[in-house]
Amino acid sequence: MTALRFNILHRCSESAARVGRVETLHGGFDTPAFMPVGTKATIKGLTPDHIRGTGSQAILNNAYHLMLRPGDDVIARLGGVHRFMRWDGPIVTDSGGYQAFSMSDINRIDEDGVTFASVVDGATVHLGPERSMEVQNNLGADIIMAFDDCPPSPEAWEGETSKCQNVKMSKGGRAKPQAAVGDYLARVRLANERTVKWLARCVKAHRRPDEQALFGIVQGGTDEQLRRESLEAVCNVELPGYAIGGVAVGEGTEMIRKVVELTAPLLPESKPRYLMGVGYEHDIVAAVRAGVDMFDCVLPTRNGRNGNVFTRGGGLRLRNAEFREDDRVIEADCDCLACGGLMSRAYLRHLLMSDEMLGPILASIHNIRHFQRLLLDIRAAIRENGWPRFFERWAAARTREGAC
Amino acid sequence: MTALRFNILHRCSESAARVGRVETLHGGFDTPAFMPVGTKATIKGLTPDHIRGTGSQAILNNAYHLMLRPGDDVIARLGGVHRFMRWDGPIVTDSGGYQAFSMSDINRIDEDGVTFASVVDGATVHLGPERSMEVQNNLGADIIMAFDDCPPSPEAWEGETSKCQNVKMSKGGRAKPQAAVGDYLARVRLANERTVKWLARCVKAHRRPDEQALFGIVQGGTDEQLRRESLEAVCNVELPGYAIGGVAVGEGTEMIRKVVELTAPLLPESKPRYLMGVGYEHDIVAAVRAGVDMFDCVLPTRNGRNGNVFTRGGGLRLRNAEFREDDRVIEADCDCLACGGLMSRAYLRHLLMSDEMLGPILASIHNIRHFQRLLLDIRAAIRENGWPRFFERWAAARTREGAC
């Protein structure tokens, strides 16, 4: 049995984009694919039938949250995360490292991983390559991610090196930015080294390689040479897929694009390429055209919960007074539960203004469907070499103007 | 065109219960019927397909909340509340009076109705029989309720008479209970008089009698003679249906039962009888056997949001630690989205403990389905004279032990 198969079905004639299909033991998904994020084994407010209704074929869960609550051991005893949340399609879990680094007020990083205070109960928790594999083996997702060291962007770089010396410090107490380029490069170089060492430990610790496909993650920050070095080291390990990590961690759109366009084409041609945590429509389209196959992002759900919805022409803030008596659906030809169900912007605004759960739920459903429709059109554009028509149709994919 | 037709299809051979069917311009519902409450034009967290999936045929909306936000005029301009919330089945609205009396910190009641501070923005709002009809005509529900004066129960009776003298006072500033029986009876007598006077004004103000069926409401508190007097006066007005009001306002189960068993059989035989705001399974069964046809209650949704779910054998508090690894569904043979979808108590507990919306949503769906299954079994028991088997199956309908 193979945990993952990937077939490329069509190649774009004018870019590095490709249409393919990933198959896992829990079914397959078409690529390029967008995966909505179900952090705590739930896409906030959506029942499994609603998730399916958005056309989502695969979803992402966060190992960090689930290891803390209800506990990966609990989920393992209950039959794994598919059975736990009753999502029978493909699931990806991340390694937990990114959240452990970024979400805890107090953490400490060393050669064995990261030690942090649990957001649930403040308990001291250690997460390293072996434990991350144990957690992800317990959860049982179809695609699992290597435990990597993800350095901040140059912009977010704030005296981070102090952490490497095992000095405990709170987020609030960090020193002001001292973005010396040399320091930043040293931090990225250290991350590269750790990432590849930890990858070897992940491969060794992974107990279910026949059921769960382990993806390696390329780091290297925004530096071309360090990206190349990380890519070479990570791809030197034979794995079912590879991800571009360390992107969308605070750097701008242009830099995201530059890094992706450098990295994606160098990843193994026959393996799925996954750009983690990205992004807006224009980010996704640029990455697809650079050869990326998989995406996850919290944008549709997080923005939806705030009442901000996507349309092909740009975003709408549904709480705005202008929508008070707007009888139109969010987007005229959208087939999501809200638009297809003929729910008006006025009704959605009423729900949002009244703090009614149904507002965030319907906005999230619409937004996820928006991204799935984007990916449907992207796949069609690749197959039919239809990019001019695609860009005509998706104004939001051309520019950042429409970002909601 | 008649706004409402009611056919009795079967009469119980051993009680006053009957099985029937109400038809409105937005379709019909089987009686005895349970209507979940969608206060602000939404059953909290449920999409219309989920509401239908619970087997609910009719729902209740609250005029009070909708007149304040988004405004009944806004809903009228958007085509009425069915179109607004995209529920195309029968809808009932209450008059708004009950909330105006009970929910506002400052209110003033006189012969023209009640003046209160809006919970939305503190504005001074007046609600009386004419305005209530205007609001309900604007909303456009299939069954609308007369604006009545609902006195508190003897237990909740706290110097309420001071309000009748047009003295503004805040809830917090009320005098201590002075439950003089004479005062209470005087208050109920005043409510009876107002209720019938206001009913005449409602009938006169109702602009859409061919589309919306106006129900009268019987008051009379817990006093037998005053109940009979109110009933006679209200039923003297020819209307498509009648409700028993002033029940479940603080008095105990035994008193609810006594009042219902006195009032229901005296209501016109050929019209639907509606017991407002009741209740637990045992309350509903007792009322059905006394001849009541319609029920609404917030219990399934309010308890569901708190993680308390109903089963035929009694309630479960899903947040309890005992459910941490409980792989069973809430109720083995339940066909709701949660149980039918094989979602475990452990998963539901995880969602509730993690403050994830999906927990309250699934618990609400289960609870509404629980009540609809209760009503399905009640209708079967009436048709087949199957009460012994019914009570065997529904332990929660026999006693109060199971109340969750």
pLDDT digits (tens, 9 = 90+) for A11-31: 999 999 999 999 999 999 999
Stretch B146-164: mean pLDDT: 71
Q: Under an 8 A CB cutoff, do B78 and A344 touch?
A: yes
Residues of chain B found within 8 Å of residue A360, distances taken between Cβ atoms? 357
Between CA A310 and CA A323 the distance in angstroms is 15
Give the model's confidence band at A401: pLDDT under 50 very low, under 70 low, under 90 confident, else very high. very low
Q: Under an 8 A CB cutoff, do B350 and A50 touch?
A: no
Give the model's confidence band at B174: pLDDT under 50 very low, under 70 low, under 90 confident, else very high. very low
CA distance B93 to chain A (A): 18
**Tell me, what's the pLDDT at A1?**
60
**Tell me, what's the pLDDT at A335?**
98
Q: Name the closest residue on chain A to residue B344, using Cα atoms.
A: A84
Mind listing the pLDDT tens digit for each residue in B329-373? 999 999 999 999 999 999 999 999 999 999 999 999 999 999 999
Catalytic (active-site) positions of A? 94, 296
Structure tokens that stand for B318 in this block: 């899903």
pLDDT of B396 over the 90 cut: no
> For residue A32, is the peptide bond before it cis, meaning its omega torsion is within 30 degrees of 0?
yes
**Tell me, what's the pLDDT at A268?**
98
Residues of chain B found within 8 Å of residue A327, distances taken between Cβ atoms? 78-79
Residues of chain B found within 8 Å of residue A52, distances taken between Cβ atoms? none
Mind listing the pLDDT tens digit for each residue in A86-117? 999 999 999 999 888 887 667 888 999 999 99
Between CA A235 and CA A23 the distance in angstroms is 21
Stretch B198-220: mean pLDDT: 98
**Tell me, what's the pLDDT at B249?**
85
Stretch A347-362: mean pLDDT: 98
Closest CA to A135 of A43, A206, A189: A206
**Tell me, what's the pLDDT at B29?**
98
Of A86, A353, A361, Cβ closest to residue B45: A361
Stretch A73-81: mean pLDDT: 98
Mind listing the pLDDT tens digit for each residue in B3-14? 999 999 999 999
pLDDT of A169 over the 70 cut: no
Mind listing the pLDDT tens digit for each residue in A312-330? 999 999 999 999 999 999 9
Within 8 A by CB and 6+ apart from A109, the residues are A101, A115, A149, A163, A164, A166
Give the range among A30-34, A178-182, A272-276, B169-173 with minimum mean pLDDT: B169-173
Mind listing the pLDDT tens digit for each residue in A376-390? 999 999 999 999 999
Provide the pairing of β-strand A18-24 with A27-31.
antiparallel
Closest CA to A313 of A207, A391, A218: A391
**Tell me, what's the pLDDT at B382?**
98
Between CA B65 and CA B228 the distance in angstroms is 32
Q: Determine contact, residues B12/B289, Cβ cutoff 8 Å.
A: yes
Q: Under an 8 A CB cutoff, do A69 and B354 touch?
A: yes
Between CA B57 and CA B79 the distance in angstroms is 21
Between CA B285 and CA B298 the distance in angstroms is 17
Q: What is the ipTM of this complex?
A: 0.94
Distances (CA, A) of A384 to A14, A190, A283, A377, B128: 11, 44, 21, 10, 65
Of A47, A84, A325, Cβ closest to residue B358: A47
**Tell me, what's the pLDDT at A249?**
85
Q: Under an 8 A CB cutoff, do B342 and A40 touch?
A: no
Q: Determine contact, residues A200/A173, Cβ cutoff 8 Å.
A: no
Q: Determine contact, residues B92/B58, Cβ cutoff 8 Å.
A: yes
pLDDT of B168 over the 70 cut: no
**Tell me, what's the pLDDT at B179?**
47
Q: Which residue's entry shows tokens 């999906």?
A: B358
Residue B402: strand, helix, or coil: coil
Stretch A156-168: mean pLDDT: 46
Provide the pairing of β-strand A213-218 with A143-145.
parallel
Within 8 A by CB and 6+ apart from A250, the residues are A152, A153, A155, A156
CA distance A2 to chain B (A): 28
Within 8 A by CB and 6+ apart from A5, the residues are A22, A23
What percent of chain A clears pLDDT 90, i.e. is strictly above it?
A: 83
**Tell me, what's the pLDDT at A305?**
97
Between CA A207 and CA A133 the distance in angstroms is 8
Q: Determine contact, residues A118/A68, Cβ cutoff 8 Å.
A: yes
pLDDT of B42 over the 70 cut: yes
**Tell me, what's the pLDDT at B194?**
96
**Tell me, what's the pLDDT at A35?**
98
Mind listing the pLDDT tens digit for each residue in B278-302? 999 999 999 999 999 999 999 999 9
**Tell me, what's the pLDDT at A214?**
98
The residues of B whose Cβ lies within 8 A of any Cβ of A are 40-42, 44-50, 65, 69-70, 74, 77-79, 84-86, 324-325, 327, 337, 341-344, 346-347, 349-351, 353-354, 356-358, 360-362
Residue B237's φ and ψ, nearest 5 degrees, are: -90, 125
Best B62, B353, B358, B365 member to test A by mutation, with max A CBs in 10 Å, is B358
Q: What is the mean pLDDT of chain A?
A: 92
Q: Under an 8 A CB cutoff, do A356 and B327 touch?
A: no
Which residue intervals of chain A bear CATH 3.20.20.105? 4-297
Domain A4-297 classification at class level: alpha beta
Q: Under an 8 A CB cutoff, do B350 and A70 touch?
A: yes
Q: Under an 8 A CB cutoff, do B78 and A346 touch?
A: yes
pLDDT of B46 over the 60 cut: yes
Q: Under an 8 A CB cutoff, do B346 and A41 touch?
A: no
**Tell me, what's the pLDDT at B175?**
36
Provide the pairing of β-strand B33-36 with B308-311.
unpaired
**Structure letter (DSSP) for residue B154:** T
Stretch A283-287: mean pLDDT: 96
CA distance A35 to chain B (A): 19
